[in-house]
Amino acid sequence: MSEGAAKKEEKPRKFQAIRGTRDLLPPETALWNRVEQTAHEVFATFGFGEIRLPIFEPTELFARAVGSETDIVSKEMYTFEDHDLHELNLRRSRSITDIELFTEPTSVGIILPYAKHFLTEAKQELTAGKLPRTPSNEFLLARIESDLDYLATLTDATPRDAFRDRCSELRRNMQALELGPVISLRPEATASVCRAYIEHNMQQLPQPVKLYYLGPMFRRERPQKGRYRQFYQIGAEVLGGSDAPAIDAEVIEMVMMFFDRLELQGVQLEINSIGCRDCRPKYVELLRAALLKVKDKLGPDSQRRIETNPLRVLDSKLESEQGIIARLPRIADHLCEDCATHYAAVKHQLEMRGVIYRENWRLVRGLDYYMRTTFEITAKGLGSQNAVCGGGRYDGLVELLGGPPTKGIGFAIGEDRLILSLQESGKAPAQQGRDVYIAWMGERAHATAIRAAKDLRKAGFSVELPPVEQKFGKALGQADKLGAKYALILGDNEVSEGLWTLKTLADGSQAKYTEPDLLAHLRKSL
C-alpha cells in the first residue's frame, strides 16, 4: 500500500445520527423545555402525577397490549435478545452456517460435532440459570437432542431429502432457542403504564389513578417530516374507577387546555365511538360484508384489510376510495344501547366544558386496545402528518395484561409535531441571548470580573465571562454576536474607582454604577 493510501484509510470515520433520529439543539431545546414545563403545570392542575418508565420492556408486553397484527408490533419494533451468552451464540451461528453449507448426507460428520458441542453447552447454561429455563427452551433442547440422535444414525445411503428435512428442522430449533429474554424499545407507553399499575398494586390506591409521562418512543417507520424513528410523546392515562363519560371529557379538556396554553394554532378535535366487545364485532362483520361487495373497486391495501382488519379501510387516504367509503355502514348507527348512551354523554360533557369537537365516524385508530371513545387532534403547519394527539378508552387492557378488570382512558401527544407546529406558526421563543457580557482587561480587572460573574449568576442573570483578555472593541463585537443585552466594562479605572461601566448594547448608552447599584439596576430592567 502506498503511503498516501494508508493515510487516506486512517482518516477517522465521520459519524452521523442514525436515519430517523436527530439531535435537538439550542435554541430549539428551550422550546422543548417550555412545552414540557407547561405539561407538568397543566397536568398537575388536573391531579395527574408523573410516572417515569423504562425505555425497554419484554416484547411480549407490546405484542399483547398493542396487538401482534398491528404495523407497530409486526414490523416497527426495535427488538433484541438480551443475553450475555456470547460463546454460545457464536457456536450456534457457526453450527447453523455449517448446516446451511453442507447439504449432502456424507457431510454429517462435519455438522455433528459442532452441533453436539452447542447442545452440551446450552444444557450447562440452562443448569447454571443463564439460559432461560422456559417451557419453550426445554422443549427445543429436547428436540435438538433428538434431531442430533437421528442424524447420528444416518448412513451414506440415507436419501438426500430426508437428511435435508431433518437438518432444516435442527436449524429452526436452534434458531428458536431464546438465549435471553426478548425485549423491545418501547413503541408507545400505555402498555408500560398498565404494567406498572398492575405491578405496583395501584388498584389499592384511591381510584382513578391519574398518571402522565414524557419521553422517547421508537418505531422503525419510514422517516419524513413529522415522522421519526425516535420520537417523543407526552401522554396521560386515567386508570381504575368508573367509565363515567365525564372522565373521557375531562381528559380531552386537559389536552385542549394544554394546547391552548401553548397557543397552538389551528387545533381541531375529532371524536368517535368505536363500540365495545359486544357491538363492534357485529359492526365489523357488517362492514366486511359491505366491503366484499365493492372489493374490486378498492386498492390492494384495502383489499387485504377486508380480511385482516376491515376498520383500517376507513383510515384510507386513497382518493379513488373516498366515494366508496362514504357509502359504507357507519358505526354510530350500530352501537349497542350502552355504547350509544355513553357516546351521547361524552359529547354532552364536552359541550358543558366548552370543548369544540367534530365527529368523525371514520376515526378508528390503529391500535387494538381501544374501545368506545376515540379521539384525534390535528394542528396547523404539519402537512400530511398533522395528527398531534391520539387517544381513547381501553377498558379491557389492564385485564389483558393479567391485572384486575380496570377502566382506562388516555392519550399520547406527538411532541415533535407539536413543536414543529409551534415553530411554523411563529410561536417559538426567540433565541435567548446573554444578559451580561463582561468585557475585562488586566489582571486586577480579571479578579473583579470573576467575582462580578459569580454575584450576577447568583442573582439569576445569564453571564458570559470571556476566559482570556480581549481588546474592548473585540469584546463588544463578541457581546453583540451573542445577543447580550449589556456589556459590563471592567478595566483598571473601574476597579480602582469601584464604579463599573454598564453599556446598553441596543442603544450604545453607558452609565457607571457601584456594584450594589448595578445589581439593583439590572433587576429592575431585565
Burial 43-61 (b: 16+ CB within 10 A, else e): beebebeebebeebbebeb
**Contact flag: residue 388 with ligand AMP (CB under 6 A):** yes
CB of 311 to ligand AMP, least distance (A): 15
Q: Which residue has the cell 391500535?
A: 367
CB of 223 to ligand AMP, least distance (A): 8
Q: For ligand AMP, which residue of 257, 325, 340, 387 counts as binding (CB under 6 A)?
A: 387
CB of 163 to ligand AMP, least distance (A): 47
**Contact flag: residue 173 with ligand AMP (CB under 6 A):** no
Helix (H) or strand (E) holding 235: strand 230-239
CB of 389 to ligand AMP, least distance (A): 6
Q: What Å distances lie between residue 165 and 111, 145, 175, 196, CA to CA?
A: 14, 16, 15, 45
Q: For ligand AMP, which residue of 412, 476, 487, 495 counts as binding (CB under 6 A)?
A: 412
Maximum alpha-carbon separation in the chain: 107
DSSP structure class, residue 431 = P
**Contact flag: residue 394 with ligand AMP (CB under 6 A):** no
CB of 42 to ligand AMP, least distance (A): 18
**Contact flag: residue 179 with ligand AMP (CB under 6 A):** no
Q: For ligand AMP, which residue of 95, 184, 192, 233 counts as binding (CB under 6 A)?
A: 233
Q: Assign 362 to helix, strand or coil.
A: coil
CB of 66 to ligand AMP, least distance (A): 9
Cβ(488)–Cβ(457) under 8 Å?
A: no
**Contact flag: residue 228 with ligand AMP (CB under 6 A):** yes
Of the pair 62, 486, the CB lying nearest ligand AMP is at 62
Q: What are phi and psi of 214, to 5 degrees?
A: -145, 150
For residue 202, how many other CB atoms are within 10 A of its CB? Answer: 22
Helix (H) or strand (E) holding 398: helix 397-400
Q: For ligand AMP, which residue of 390, 396, 408, 410 counts as binding (CB under 6 A)?
A: 390
**Contact flag: residue 389 with ligand AMP (CB under 6 A):** yes
Given the rule CB under 6 A, which of 22-30, 38-46, 292-300, 410-418 is the region that contacts ligand AMP? Answer: 410-418
Query: Residue number with the shortest CB distance to ligand AMP?
Result: 414
**Contact flag: residue 221 with ligand AMP (CB under 6 A):** yes
First-to-final CA distance of the chain: 64
Cβ(217)–Cβ(193) under 8 Å?
A: no
- Give how many residues touch ligand AMP by CB under 6 A: 16
**Contact flag: residue 408 with ligand AMP (CB under 6 A):** no
Q: What are phi and psi of 376, to 5 degrees?
A: -145, 145
The three cell numbers locating residue 380 = 396547523
Q: Which ranges constitute the DSSP H helices of 299-374?
A: 300-308, 322-326, 337-352
The three cell numbers locating residue 141 = 433442547
Given the rule CB under 6 A, which of 26-34, 303-311, 382-390, 422-430 is the region that contacts ligand AMP? Answer: 382-390
The three cell numbers locating residue 71 = 404495523
According to CB under 6 A, which residues from 417 to 446 bind ligand AMP? 417
Q: For ligand AMP, which residue of 248, 250, 416, 435 counts as binding (CB under 6 A)?
A: 416
Parallel, antiparallel or unpaired: strands 436-440 and 463-464: parallel
CB of 215 to ligand AMP, least distance (A): 12
**Contact footprint for ligand AMP (CB under 6 A):** 188, 219, 221, 226-228, 231, 233, 387-390, 412, 414, 416-417
